[in-house]
Amino acid sequence: MKQLMVLAVLLSTTLFANAQLTWQNVDSAFGPLPKGVHVYRTNTALAGKPNIAYYIELPLKNKQLSFDALTGNGKRFTPTQYFEQHASPLVVTNCTFFSFANNANLNMVVSHGQLKAYNTPSVKQGKDSTRFFYVTRSAIGISKKRKADVAWTYTDTALQYAYVWSKPSTGTGSHADPDLQDLISANPSLPKPVKWKMQTAVGGGPVVLEAGEVKVYNKEERMFVTGLQDKHPRTAMGYTADGKLIVLAVEGRNPGIAEGATLEQLGQMLKQMGCIEGLNLDGGGSSCLLINGKPTIKPSDKEGQRPVPAVFVVTTTSL
């Protein structure tokens, strides 16, 4: 059975590689757009299945563009509501995972250099276990110098900045809410973490692209551990070596029209766009990408756009 599963994964990858997606420029449907900003759409089948996806390409060095994250301050709003409440941003997309019970973000959010939301610090090893995995959830950040980075992060309300590792934590311990020293002690093989002084950042997970190669860190980040081949609507972000930020939305759960993507396929898509690092964000019914207030993919929830407690936004300014 294990050999058959491996074969299925390899076959899926081969089908994707042999049928590169064709992306069509659809700037005219979402304009006006600042210089260097472009929007693309594909309906090329993904491993033989119906597929619709959009992405927007944003040059990080374009000073007309301002990158930020917004939170609902304990409430959830639809992406369109964020658009209407915050001076009509060029881009609005969902980002963090969250709790339906209390609307809390489960991933970090940084706005104007300030931590506005924090990561889940740990997950239980088992239902009745007293041991915990000390998770370092992945995030994408943009610095004051307009450089993007994807990293595995740790946050704490007692710390001004997030701390990052070059690899995810594999450590365990007995504390449900570990501090930074707990994580360092539990991961002796990893280099010590460093401060991550990002101007803007949003978290999600898992990483699906590292150093230009598809690698899905679902097991290491303790996310979708048994769901590697599940197809869902997806939201993802990455960046290219020449300084372009990519925001990608994949439609799904729309039978016969768009079935969604696996995490591995998401990484392949980002790689095809030229990204060198990229990560999955909250997906499913949360997936939504607005460009100049206009929707791209069709939300999978029957009610339409799902209210979320945080969004990533790009606004434009006149120079």
The pLDDT value recorded for residue 127 is 85
CA nearest neighbour of 93 among 80, 106, 74:
80
C-alpha to C-alpha distance for 131 and 124, rounded to whole angstroms: 6
Q: The pTM is what?
A: 0.93
Angle between helices 263-272 and 2-18 (to 10 degrees): 30
- Helix/strand/coil percentages in the chain, nearest 5: 15, 35, 50
Largest CA distance in the chain: 60
Can you say how many angstroms the Cα of residue 154 is from the centroid of all Cα atoms in its chain? 16
DSSP 8-state code for residue 284: G
pLDDT tens for each residue of the chain, 319 residues long: 444 444 444 444 444 444 589 999 999 999 999 999 999 999 999 999 999 999 999 999 999 999 999 999 999 999 999 999 999 999 999 999 999 999 999 999 999 999 999 999 999 998 888 999 999 999 999 999 999 999 999 999 999 999 999 999 999 999 999 999 999 999 999 999 999 999 999 999 999 999 999 999 999 999 999 889 999 999 999 999 999 999 999 999 999 999 999 999 999 999 999 999 999 999 999 999 999 999 999 999 999 999 999 999 999 986 4
Can you say how many angstroms the Cα of residue 67 is from the centroid of all Cα atoms in its chain? 15
DSSP 8-state code for residue 85: H
